[in-house]
Structure 1
Amino acid sequence: MRTLAVAAAVLLLAGCSSDSPRTADPPRTTDAACGETISTEALPEWARAGFSWDGSGTRHVLSDRGELLAVLFGHPLSSPPAPDRNNKILWVARAPFERGDLTITAELAGAAVTAQAEVAGGPGPSIVDLPRPGCWHLTLTWPGRTDTMDLTYHPGSPSQAASQ
Structure 2
Amino acid sequence: MRRYPVALSMAALSLIPLAGCTADGTSSKTAPSAVSSSSPTPSPPTTPIPATTPTTTPATAPPTTPPTDPCMAAGTVNSTPPPAWTAAARPPAGMRWVAGEHGLVVGMLFADPLKSAQDNKILWIVKLPRDGAPLQMRATLFGTRDSFALTPVPPDSGPGEIYPSMVPVPTPGCWILTMAWNGHQDSVA
Scaled to the shorter chain, the TM-score interval is 0.5 to 0.7
Question: CA offsets per residue over residues 6-36 of structure 1, 9 Å max, x none?
Answer: xxxxxxxxxxxxxxxxxxxx23324463612
Contact in 1 for aligned 2:109/2:122 (Cα 8 Å): yes
In structure 2, how many angstroms separate the alpha carbons of the residues matched to 1:108 and 1:140?
15
1:91 is aligned, of 124, 135, 153, to 124
With the length of structure 1 as denominator, give the TM-score of the two structures.
0.64
Q: Name the Cα RMSD after superposition.
A: 2.2
SS in 2 for 1:46: helix
Alignment match, 2:72: 33
Q: Does 1:101 align with 2:134?
A: yes
5+ residue gaps, structure 2? 7-70, 157-161
SS in 1 for 2:95: coil
Alignment match, 2:98: 61
1:136-147 map, 5 Å: 136-147=175-186
Q: Does 1:79 align with 2:54?
A: no
SS in 2 for 1:33: helix
The Cα shift of 1:50 comes to 4.7
Q: Does 1:46 align with 2:79?
A: no
The Cα shift of 1:45 comes to 1.2
2:164 is aligned, of 102, 113, 125, to 125
5+ residue gaps, structure 1? 1-25, 151-164
Higher strand share: 1
Contact in 1 for aligned 2:139/2:175 (Cα 8 Å): yes
Structure showing greater Rg: 1
In structure 2, relative to structure 1, the CA distance for the partners of 1:58 and 1:52 (3 Å cut) is closer
Letter of the 2:164 counterpart: P
Higher helix share: 1
With the length of structure 2 as denominator, give the TM-score of the two structures.
0.56
Letter of the 1:129 counterpart: P
Alignment match, 2:14: none
